[in-house]
Structure 1
């Protein structure tokens, strides 16, 4: 469930507020790709930290884990909500990075199309022939087997050689 903007700000300290504020709509469009990547890594770190604290507090309330930290809030509700805030900010940053990536891919595609059009107009473009087409009717396909032609005298020579060798073996004592 989405958390309202004012509720987000109440959950965070000053540095975290500035980081999350930069992920909302008007500000996120002004960030460069490198800044988005930096924001992404910082948000992941904060989200993972809150996730760890949430799990620890849950284990503590269930009785399966020991208490950690004296200033930690009494219930697991606070870290869970903070984790949700960071997760939503991560979603926004990921969408913006994906939007940047798609924009760059579209620009590359347009540049490639312009290069292809320039090649075609310059006359250096060669279109390959389509090969066999249907309007010419059926045509025989050439055989793919290798043609081995052995001279007829060689055939006889081999069989004669075999006969001679067999006769020599038979003549041995």
Structure 2
């Protein structure tokens, strides 16, 4: 096995903006009727996304879909050169409590491109014992090899059997 450094595609920034536009437009399309009747039942963040989506033009939506398609093609080209990418699962350890589930920002580049990813435990923070994760990413339709890699990792480590200390 050989480890190499890789970089996200140059289209990453524009693809993230396009993903957000598409996400908002599609959330608005799905929730439009219920939102108009009972907007107060929606979380403020979701309300913001739906409202943005309701203002999105078809031209902007289709442009965003083209940007995402170009990004997907570029990312898949890069993933053809390796067996898998390894990244942190999140920019921070798992949060304490249930009021926030953590940032998905490190998952977004791969969700946006429709490629499979798998998160596995890699230990705990030394100060508070919060879980840490590693994300494994494979090329499109590479689920089988990704699951085999995840299984090999679990066979070689014990992190998946360990639990954090609860105070």
TM-score (norm 2): 0.29
TM-score (norm 1): 0.28
Compare CA radii of gyration and give the structure with the larger one: 1
Q: Which has the higher helix share?
A: 1
Greater relative contact order (CA < 8 Å, ≥ 6 in sequence): 1
